[in-house]
Amino acid sequence: EKHGHLVADPMAWSRGYRGILREIRRRFPNLALDGEDNSEIYAADLDGFMTWRFTEPNHVPLFQSIYGGGRCQFTARAFDAFGPGIGSFESSNAKLGEQFVCGEQIGWMHIFDSRYGTPRRLYAKKLAHWRLALLDYLNQADMLHPLDFKEPVPELTTVWGNTGGQNVTTPCLRNGVWKRIGDGRILLLFTNTIEDRMTARPLISHLPGRYLTMFAEDGKAPVTLDLEKQGRDVELKLDGLSSQVWLLTNDIPKDVETIANEARKISTYRDCGKSLPGSGPDFATKKTLNAEAGKWIRAKDASWMLFAFREFHPSLGHEPNSKNPDLAGNWILARKGAVISFGEVDFGGKAPSAFQAMLGAGKENAGTQVTLWDVTGDGKPDTMLAHWTVPQTGKWFDFKTLDAKALSKVTGTRLIVMRVENKDCNIRGWRVK
């Protein structure tokens, strides 16, 4: 009764927090205030919504259409290491693409999701730079309805992280439409969330603007079309995990250098970057393993690695307590020249006639050479036990089990390493066939 409100007053909680937020704003006017999830009741007093749980199936960007465009910033989506359950590799790209076209901050990935030098990291970097170049539009615009296409675009159904294993279906080609408040310019955002090249024809005849200026990741100057002469049936071509920005204006735009310069810069981004291990390899570590026919020796069993990386925490392709042996067994991103030690491996008294390895290589890494070696160093030279030439196994994170005949006889306990010779390779493990 002395708290300044009626007993069980349903507004007391929110009224109190509003007072706190406004006092913080008064004392620290340049401090950004971010609320968790879509805390709409405090929208008048917040600068952002940390909408990390916007990952459920069948979600639509209704909330972004109301509070986006500079009214509030959207500062989070949970990826793999944070929340109930990891997602597939493809789902991360779908999530990043959705953030971009909805005007959200790109990422909010846990450090455990970020240490791998994967194409996901490169895609996120490019989208972040696109968004930086477009802030003059995205911070003062209204979201319009997304575009339709002359022919339906394919959809992508994947397990999204933070959904507890639920599938989420989204268009492979995402788009967003924004109308700048001051001058009525229409900003069209397109991004290809899959690795395959896509072609589409957006339906733009209902949108105002005579001139269409197109910015791409090809390193070329933007192209401006006169739609009254050209017509409004314009083809869109997008390489895998790339984006384009279109701008509809009534006059030929003269002030597009910021976007054009950033697009040229983005065209130079090709490298996924190095993986960032939490600590260096401990070459003294020497596990003891048994090489039994049909039993996988997995990434988690490796003693140490050089020029290779595995994440020990739950993240892409790895859940330590999963009933799926592949997820529980982890994986290794091995760079060209990588050496992975599996310590002392006991082959018993019978020499194997063949080996198998579970390996992954996307288009760029097809043809990589992976070898298995006996490096015991007991007065004998290093001996190659098996050799794999890895074909393209599918997309970047697709694995295949590949056979290799035994090149040398090996019995007893030997010191075993795996080497990656000429390109990068993703590795789940190996076994005696």
Q: How far apart are CA 287 and CA 91, in angstroms?
A: 35
- Residues pairing with 215 in the sheet: 245
Would you state the structure tokens that stand for residue 6, as one six-digit string?
A: 């009626």
- Residues pairing with 212 in the sheet: 225, 248
Q: How far apart are CA 47 and CA 41, in angstroms?
A: 13
Nearest to 401 by CA among 362, 425, 429: 429
Nearest to 227 by CA among 210, 203, 208: 210
> Which residues lie closer than 8 Å to 350 by C-beta, 6 or more apart?
411
Would you state the structure tokens that stand for residue 260, as one six-digit string?
A: 């054009």
Q: How far apart are CA 368 and CA 391, in angstroms?
A: 8
CA dihedral 260→266→267→271, nearest 10 degrees, is 170
| Cβ(35)–Cβ(20) below 8 Å | no
Q: How far apart are CA 218 and CA 395, in angstroms?
A: 23
Q: Can you give the pLDDT at residue 76?
A: 87
> Which residues lie closer than 8 Å to 128 by C-beta, 6 or more apart?
106, 107
Q: Can you give the pLDDT at residue 307?
A: 95
Q: Can you give the pLDDT at residue 1?
A: 57
Q: How far apart are CA 245 and CA 301, in angstroms?
A: 46
Q: Can you give the pLDDT at residue 220?
A: 95
* pLDDT of the chain, 433 residues: tens digit per residue: 577 778 888 888 898 899 999 999 999 999 999 998 888 999 999 999 998 888 999 999 999 999 999 889 999 888 888 778 899 999 999 999 999 999 999 998 889 998 999 999 999 999 999 999 999 999 999 999 999 999 999 999 999 988 888 999 999 999 999 999 999 999 999 999 999 999 999 999 999 999 999 999 999 999 999 999 999 999 999 999 999 999 999 999 988 999 999 999 999 999 999 998 888 899 999 999 999 999 999 999 999 999 999 999 999 999 999 999 999 999 999 999 999 999 999 999 999 999 999 999 999 999 999 999 999 987 778 999 999 999 999 999 999 999 999 999 999 999 999 999 999 999 999 999 9
Q: How far apart are CA 330 and CA 338, in angstroms?
A: 17
> Which residues lie closer than 8 Å to 161 by C-beta, 6 or more apart?
55, 78, 79, 80, 82, 83, 85, 86, 87, 91, 92, 95
